[in-house]
Amino acid sequence: MAFTEIDRRLLEKCLGGKPRAWEDFVDRFMGLVVHVVNFTAQSRSVRLTPDDRDDVAAEVFLAIVENDFAILRHFRGESSLATYLTVVARRIVVRELLNRKTPASLGDSVNQLSEGAGQLSEGNGHSEPRFEQRIRDRDEVERLLAELEGVEADVVRLYHLEGRSYREISQLTNVPENTIGPMLSRARAKMRRAGADAAI
């Protein structure tokens, strides 16, 4: 879908600080962001309460506003604005699902995101995997990805950084869906070893 004139004008008004521009932007894309939150959480088997969902959606919009709308300023119009925001929102949502520590549904479900990656940390009250604590920072993930090659690196990047589901990864990489889980497990083992070596 092309970058529409309606979205072009809306983007220009936001970046120009026009009255009510941000409110109009939120009204236009709130449904999209909520859909991304719900879809990403569901694909990772994370249960969200309505409050969790609203908080994560709010974090997406806060990230868009940060640094004088830096995310919007990086948009080059090579796709529709909705497509661009979907990719941006998905990455932010994945980060929030890994980082948030709400005590009930969301906090307990962080373990499911790692799918068995490493032992659980002790005494932190959140049963969060040590490995996920080490790789939650995007730069750290990218550094550890240097230990992987080819399709294996692509699968890890799509899953951990872009929040893609197994089905989406299979479609993008031509890897059979039922082999993605084992591939992620092997890749995480390599990345854990690399992280342990770096800590020595």
200 or 34, which is more confident: 34
Same domain, residue pair 131 and 85: no
Q: Which domain holds residue 163?
A: 115-199
Q: How many domains is the chain built from?
A: 2
* Residue that the structure tokens 């499911």 belong to: 112
State the Cα–Cα distance between residues 71 and 88, nearest whole angstrom.
8
**pLDDT tops 50 at residue 131:** no
Model pLDDT for residues 79-120, shown as the tens digit of each residue? 899 999 999 999 999 988 887 644 344 434 334 444 443 333
Same domain, residue pair 152 and 68: no
H-state helical runs in the chain? 5-15, 21-43, 50-73, 81-99, 105-114, 130-135, 138-145, 150-156, 166-173, 177-199
Same domain, residue pair 17 and 92: yes
Same domain, residue pair 33 and 60: yes
The residue-averaged pLDDT of 191-198 equals 61
Same domain, residue pair 145 and 72: no
148 or 30, which is more confident: 30
Model pLDDT for residues 156-169, shown as the tens digit of each residue? 888 777 777 888 88
Show Cβ contacts of residue 156 under 8 Å, excluding neighbours closer than 6 positions. 145, 148, 184, 187, 188, 191
- What CATH code is carried by the domain that includes residue 23? 1.10.1740.10
Question: For residue 119, what is the DSSP state?
Answer: P
**Predicted local confidence at residue 1, as pLDDT:** 58
What are the beta bridge partners of residue 129? 120
Same domain, residue pair 48 and 89: yes
Q: Which amino acid is at 145?
A: L
- In 3D space, the residue among 62, 84, 93, 72 whose CA is nearest the CA of residue 162 turns out to be 93
Same domain, residue pair 171 and 96: no
**pLDDT tops 70 at residue 34:** yes
Same domain, residue pair 67 and 136: no
**pLDDT tops 60 at residue 24:** yes
What are the beta bridge partners of residue 120? 129
What are the beta bridge partners of residue 174? none
Same domain, residue pair 36 and 88: yes
